[in-house]
């Protein structure tokens, strides 16, 4: 599953037609995390390492992709499934969705999911989830910032597509620059972040789409994006 997810995330990633990625699931569970049968003593340490290394690669890949990634959650997201939601740029959940990191209850602490949770939730909320394994409701997840929006189940597809279509109205190259910059600056101290993003704003202005957007605004017309990294000559 992780290999397939990685392959799907990278499919046509350089195409100008690819503007947003939505991760969804069929059935009552969004993602239940690792198959515990793969983590039994029947497999050696090398296999266990490969499983967790691949999982970490997929989670970090999401934030490195040049397009926004949306989790469309309609059900239970536990352990690495909860990690997947936390790793996405945006998450839209139905009211029946729940989120948990129950590894502690079976003797396998959710240490890798804790990386994504700790960067999405307040520390005390994340640690309560990790220490108890108790789930957050969809509205609790919204309140604490794990998801972006919560809607009735019959509105989930509509709301996800609404956000996706809005994203598609913007320049892919500008969004790619903005996403990469956001994740770079979030780990920096304040002065370093402002210094770096100041230069990015200047670089953004050199893009053809950067100038096109400004010209379109001044001329009171819709911009015509190239979606390329080309600079304005």
User: Tell me, what CATH number does 114's domain have?
Assistant: 3.90.226.10
What's the pLDDT band for 39 if we cut at 50, 70, 90? confident
Q: Is residue 203 part of a domain?
A: yes
Rounded to an integer, what distance in angstroms lies between the CA atom of residue 202 and that of residue 197?
9
| For residue 154, pLDDT beyond 70 | yes
CB-based contact 162:149 (threshold 8 Å)? no
Within 8 A by CB and 6+ apart from 163, the residues are 70, 90, 92, 148, 149
Query: Are residue 134 and residue 157 in the same domain, yes or no?
Result: yes
Q: Is residue 224 part of a domain?
A: no
* Residue 63 exposed, middle or buried by CB count within 10 Å (0-12, 13-18, 19+): middle
Predicted local confidence at residue 43, as pLDDT: 63
CB-based contact 85:30 (threshold 8 Å)? yes
Return the minimum-mean-pLDDT range out of 16-20, 44-48, 126-130. 44-48
Q: Looking at residues 156-169, what average pLDDT do you find? A: 97
Q: Is residue 225 part of a domain?
A: no
Query: Are residue 112 and residue 186 in the same domain, yes or no?
Result: no
Rounded to an integer, what distance in angstroms lies between the CA atom of residue 58 and that of residue 48?
16
Looking at the DSSP bridge assignments, the partners of residue 94 are 151
Q: Is residue 229 part of a domain?
A: no
Q: What is the pTM of this model?
A: 0.93
Query: Are residue 123 and residue 194 in the same domain, yes or no?
Result: no
Query: Are residue 164 and residue 180 in the same domain, yes or no?
Result: no
Q: Is residue 80 part of a domain?
A: yes
Where would I find the H helices in 65-186? 80-87, 111-118, 123-132, 138-144, 156-168, 172-185
Q: Is residue 163 part of a domain?
A: yes
DSSP secondary structure letter of residue 153: G
CB-based contact 136:92 (threshold 8 Å)? no
Within 8 A by CB and 6+ apart from 45, the residues are none
Query: Are residue 84 and residue 181 in the same domain, yes or no?
Result: no
8-36 pLDDT tens trace = 999 999 898 999 999 999 999 999 998 88
CB-based contact 164:23 (threshold 8 Å)? no
Query: Are residue 146 and residue 187 in the same domain, yes or no?
Result: no
Number of domains in the chain: 2
Predicted local confidence at residue 34, as pLDDT: 87
Query: Are residue 108 and residue 208 in the same domain, yes or no?
Result: no
Query: Are residue 34 and residue 136 in the same domain, yes or no?
Result: yes
Query: Are residue 125 and residue 189 in the same domain, yes or no?
Result: no
Query: Are residue 151 and residue 182 in the same domain, yes or no?
Result: no
- Domain span at residue 213 reads 172-218
65-116 pLDDT tens trace = 999 999 999 999 999 999 999 999 999 999 999 999 999 999 999 999 999 9
Looking at 128, 144, 168, which one is the last position of a domain? 168
Query: Are residue 214 and residue 155 in the same domain, yes or no?
Result: no
Q: Is residue 42 part of a domain?
A: yes
């Amino acid at each position: 599953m992780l290999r397939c997810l990685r392959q799907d995330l990278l499919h046509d990633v350089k195409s100008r037609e690819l503007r947003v990625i939505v991760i969804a699931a069929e059935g009552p569970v969004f993602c239940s995390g690792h198959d515990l049968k793969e983590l039994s003593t029947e497999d050696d340490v090398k296999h266990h390492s490969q499983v967790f290394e691949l999982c970490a690669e997929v989670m970090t890949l999401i934030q490195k992709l040049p397009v926004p990634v949306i989790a469309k959650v309609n059900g239970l997201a536990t352990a690495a499934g909860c990690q997947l939601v936390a790793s996405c740029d945006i998450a839209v959940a139905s009211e029946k969705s729940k989120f948990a990191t129950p590894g502690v209850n079976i003797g396998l602490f959710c240490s890798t999911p804790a990386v994504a949770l700790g960067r999405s939730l307040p520390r005390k909320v994340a640690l309560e989830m990790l220490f108890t394994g108790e789930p957050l409701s969809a509205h609790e997840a919204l309140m604490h910032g794990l998801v972006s929006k919560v809607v009735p189940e019959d509105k989930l597809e509509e709301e996800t597509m609404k956000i996706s279509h809005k994203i598609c109205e913007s320049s892919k190259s500008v969004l790619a620059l903005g996403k990469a910059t956001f994740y770079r600056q979030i780990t920096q101290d304040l002065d370093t972040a402002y210094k770096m993003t100041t230069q990015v704003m200047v670089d953004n202005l050199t893009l053809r789409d950067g100038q096109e957007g400004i010209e379109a605004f001044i001329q009171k017309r819709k911009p015509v994006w190239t979606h390329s990294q080309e600079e304005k000559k």
